[in-house]
Amino acid sequence: MSRPHKKRLADPVSASIESLSHEGRGIARINGKTVFIDGALPGEEVRFLYTRRRGQFDEGRAVEVLEPSSSRVEPRCRYYGMCGGCSLMHLDSEEQILHKQSVLLEQLAHLGKVEPERILPPLSASRWGYRRKARLGAKYVAGKEKVLVGFREKFSSFIADIDSCEVLHPNLGEAIGQLKELIHELSVYRQIPQLEVAISDSVAAVVIRHLAPLTGNDKRILADFEAQRPVRFYLQPGGLDSVHGLSGDDGQNLYYRLDGHDITVEFSPIDFTQVNFELNALLVDRVIELLEPGAADKVLDLFCGLGNFTLPIARYAQHATGLESSEDLVLRAQRNARNNNLTNVDFNACNLMEPDAGPLVSGYAYNKVLLDPPRTGAREIIEQLDLERVDRLVYVSCNPATLARDAGILVKQGGLGLKAAGVMDMFPHTSHVESIALFE
């Protein structure tokens, strides 16, 4: 007797979408099993294809929306759905930020077992052409006889075949097709796997990772392109320490302005800077609003980077100290302080993830603290801080899960109160959640 055939993965299935997952996929229940469906929104009836079967849950992608949500919008980008750079462009922008807020509050309650006394209004800025930092893949595809430049395809390691990008700053977002043609002109077009993009207030920097030496003619081709557009090329023949300007020097200075605080921040094309400069300016304002640095305050900025927060804080505090593990970033932060004529701020190198960082940190005078850690959070240094000295602590996070975990430590072990928390739309049209919290 033959066994009955299981329903093939290729057969479309109907589903009612109940909610939205943290990463922006619709959640449905099929025969008692959870299915995460890409491209579906809460309240919708969709037909979808299974893309993967797992033990605890399944995955799929919507192929037809039978009853659309009132929050569904037409994606502005013609590559949306194929390109993996964005995941929420089919959801109304205001609903996107509300979803991110719900993710933050759920994580605080579930992981940290804490609840903010006040929810801060979400911060939003321009939602198109906002992205100033990006890592783009590059690859020559023999079958298409052309070079591809872009983000990876959704759920794939292949590079998306695009000629423009709606979220990249227009200086490069509108010129991807030209970049593809430019790279194809080079003799090493088969040995260029990646472009690192860093767009300043003055020019767009493009770091070309190349696995074979450029010829003199290659460099002339790049120089001609520079002469016609607000683009400056940097070359990377090896590791990050090999990056240099096309002409052999450091290239043109890159910078951004924080006009509200009369601060100019210079950076190199491989430094960490916030992706969204317009939103970053609003974030700096909010940090200062929550931290309330005054003439009697000594502020400690942990994971300070180039001084994005430290420098404007120093405009108002008695003194500001920035600690950062990267010595290169510390040197540039020190130079930024000099360039902005700030004498009440200092920057020092310190690995804040080490178990012996506590004694080093305790040697600095502070009564207010700012934390802006990487995705892994700040648990290591939080557990070593003398929180008895802290009047206010502001935590900027790029990962709501680690913020929630650390918030639980600050409240339950450190004796601080979670006074306020909120989100900002640093990455519109993606599921990435950037958040901020105030502890007293």
Residue 257 and residue 263 in contact, taking contact as beta carbons nearer than 8 Å: yes
Out of 77, 83, 304, 398, which one is annotated catalytic? Answer: 398
The residues, any chain, with a CB within 8 Å of residue 256's CB and separated by 6 or more, are: 200, 201, 264, 265, 267, 273, 277, 280
The answer to whether the Cα torsion of 208, 210, 214, 217 is positive or negative is: negative
Give the containing element (helix H, strand E) for 333.
helix 327-339
User: Annotated catalytic, 350?
Assistant: no
Residue 346's φ and ψ, nearest 5 degrees, are -140, 155
Please return the burial class of 335, using the count of CB atoms within 10 Å of its CB with bins 0-12, 13-18 and 19+.
middle
- With H, G, I as helix, E, B as strand and everything else as coil, classify residue 113: coil
310, two tokens: 């430290």
In 12-26, which positions are buried (b, 16+ CB within 10 angstroms) versus exposed (e)?
Answer: ebebbbeebeeebbb
| Bridge partners for 342 per DSSP | none
Sheet containing strand 418-424, edge to edge, reads 118-119, 418-424, 434-439, 392-397, 368-371, 298-302, 319-324, 345-349
The whole-angstrom distance between residue 16's C-alpha and the CA centroid of its chain comes to: 32
Give the containing element (helix H, strand E) for 339.
helix 327-339
Question: CA 167, CA 430: separation in Å to the nearest integer?
Answer: 10
Task: Kindly report the three-state secondary structure assignment for every residue of 180-223.
Answer: HHHHHHCCCHHHCCEEEEEECCCCEEEEEECCCCCCHHHHHHHH
Residue 60's φ and ψ, nearest 5 degrees, are -160, 180
Closest CA to 83 of 143, 137, 153, 184: 153
**Residues designated catalytic:** 398
